[in-house]
Chains A and B, each alone.
Chain A
Amino acid sequence: MSQSYTCGETGALVAYLYDECEPELRESIDAHLSQCGSCASEIEGLGRTRRQLGAWTPPVAELGFQMPPPAFDARLPWWRAPLPAWAQAAAATAIFGTGLLIGASGGWAGDGPVAPVSPVSTGASTPASRNDVSLMEKRLRAEMTRLTAAPVSAHTSAVPGEAPSSNDEAIIRRVQELIAESEKGLRTEITLRSVDLARDFETQRRVDLASVRETFGQFQGVTGKEMREQREAINQMTNYVMQVSQQVR
């Protein structure tokens, strides 16, 4: 671009307007504006438009974005990476099931710092099933005592490749029966516990819902009234300001 201004050269005028031109060109335009009313008026008008544009402000917005780090997490080794949702759910189920089994076997009852949780409404079936389990435990212990007290020769004869004796077969059968009974008892206990838990959860949910409904109703009554009063006051004030503004104009 030449460093001397020619009248009506719009590109140079814009560069002058935004103060983004060489000093020589600026001097040339300054000299021209003092003589040319048309160009001076043009620059003055465009400058005024720029000032008006300055009033355009975007509305205030709540932003505060935070970047989750997915791209960088991908670099983590597999043992430090977060588990997928299905694996977390499986782990939670396994832990829950184990807890139920421990609870059903009475492992923590009375011999540790954790007190057993008593359901709100257990019904008559639960104590009966507990008795079953404790009876089964006693029987298992008795059987184990009997087996350990049995002659050593019966066990030592069981060498690899040798056919099991009739005594061994009876023991195995008995152990299998006991295991089956034990499993059946535990299954019943788990089912009963699950039903109790579901019932307790539902009862608590209903109580909470009723409480929330009541609280919300009170809150709504108070805030609704206050909001109406405030809105009316603001409306009156704004109407007054608008009226005064129009009278002044």
Chain B
Amino acid sequence: MTRSDEELVARSVSGDADSFNQLIVRWERPIYALAYRVLGHEEDARDVCQDTFLRAYRALPGFKGQAKFSSWLYRIALNLCRDWIRRQRRAPISQIPEDLDPAELVTEAGPAESIEDLVARRELTAIVEQAMQSLSEEQRTAIILKEYHGLTFQEIADMQGCPLSTVKTRLYQGLSMLRRQLERRGQGVAELVKRT
């Protein structure tokens, strides 16, 4: 039987550490993905992900369930990402490899994906990552939360501490900028999208 987040939270608060570990299993991938897309560094994203759960675990008795558990986690992760960026005093730069390591490609390719397709996917990922760098932190975060985590406008507004209309503006401006960046690359991107 699959327990809801709320049930697992309640059991964790009453001292059942195993329930909290189930929450980790459920949410570690999305939190890691969020941290990676915001920070652009694998190791940092992993650290932030771990720290997010550690903080959540400590603060769990104070979690009253006003928001969804996932929204609460996202908020913790985003705050940590923001702290991380400030502390490191660096812009979020994605890890775009200078050259592709064939051995790495072979291990990454799934059984149904050819190496050629995998190379195309990696190229497109690099292009999108580069384009995302041109956005402000607020625009990037809004797009990441909306595109990859499916949060509502209102949830993003609550998380970013701004009016709902500001979220829509950030999304529109961010998407428009990305569109320009990607269209500048023209036909190559279109082909890569078809292939992926």
A residues sitting closer than 8 Å to B (CB atoms) are 10-11, 13-15, 17-18, 20, 45-46, 48-61, 63-67, 69, 71-72, 75, 230-231, 234-235, 237-238, 241-242, 244-245, 249
Q: Which of B106, B124, B175, B192 is A50 in contact with, Cβ under 8 Å?
A: B175
CA distance A152 to B153 in the complex (A): 100
- Give Cα A241 to B17, complex, Å: 49
In Å, the complex CA distance between A57 and B176 comes to 21
Residue B143 CB within 8 A of the other chain:
yes
Closest residue of B by beta carbon distance from A10: B172
Chain A to chain B: the 7 pairs with minimum beta-carbon distance, closest first: A69-B17, A58-B36, A11-B168, A56-B128, A238-B102, A49-B179, A234-B102
- Determine whether B5 belongs to the interface, using a CB cutoff of 8 Å to chain A: no
Collect the chain B residues with CB atoms within 8 Å of residue A63's CB.
28-29, 32, 46, 49
- Tell me whether B193 and A51 are in contact (CB under 8 A): yes
Chain B residue numbers with a CB within 8 Å of A50 are: 147, 175
Closest chain A residue, CB of each to CB of B94: A56
Name 30 A/B residue pairs within 8 A (Cβ), A-sorted: A10-B168, A11-B168, A17-B175, A46-B175, A49-B175, A52-B182, A53-B143, A55-B125, A55-B196, A58-B33, A58-B36, A58-B42, A58-B45, A61-B46, A63-B28, A63-B29, A65-B49, A66-B21, A67-B24, A67-B53, A69-B17, A71-B57, A231-B103, A234-B102, A234-B103, A235-B102, A238-B100, A238-B105, A244-B116, A245-B116
B191 within 8 A of A: yes
Residues of A within 8 A of B49 (CB): 63, 65
Complex CA gap A242/B100 in Å reads: 11
Further pairs besides A14-B172, A55-B193, A241-B116: 20, Cβ < 8 Å: A10-B172, A14-B175, A15-B153, A18-B146, A49-B175, A52-B182, A52-B193, A53-B143, A55-B121, A58-B32, A61-B45, A65-B28, A66-B21, A67-B57, A72-B15, A230-B103, A234-B106, A237-B102, A241-B115, A249-B191
What is the chain A residue whose CB lies nearest that of B146?
A18
* Chain A nearest Cβ from B69, distance in angstroms: 15
In the assembly, what is the distance between CA of A195 and CA of B191, in Å?
A: 75
Query: B98: shortest Cβ distance to chain A, in Å?
Result: 15
Q: With A59-B36, A65-B28, A234-B103 in contact, do A11 and B172 touch (Cβ < 8 Å)?
A: yes
Number of A-B contacts (CB under 8 A): 121
Most buried by B among A15, A55, A242, A245: A55
Which residues B103-142 have CB closer than 8 A to chain A?
103, 105-106, 108, 115-116, 119, 121, 124-125, 128-129, 132
The CA of A26 and the CA of B55, in the complex, are separated in Å by 41
Complex contacts, A245 vs chain B, CB 8 Å = 116, 119
Q: Which residues of A contact B129 (CB under 8 A)?
A: 56
Counting contact residues on chain B (CB < 8 A from A), the size range is: 35 or more
Q: Which of B174-196 contact A (CB under 8 A)?
A: 175-176, 178-179, 182-183, 189, 191-193, 196
Could you say which residues of chain B place their CB within 8 Å of the CB of A72? 15, 17
Instruction: Give chain A nearest CB distance to B118 CB in angstroms.
Output: 10
A67→B102 CA distance, assembly (Å): 36
Residues of B within 8 A of A15 (CB): 153, 168
Chain A residues with Cβ below 8 Å from B102 are 231, 234-235, 237-238
Report chain B residues within 8 Å CB of A61.
32, 36, 42, 45-46
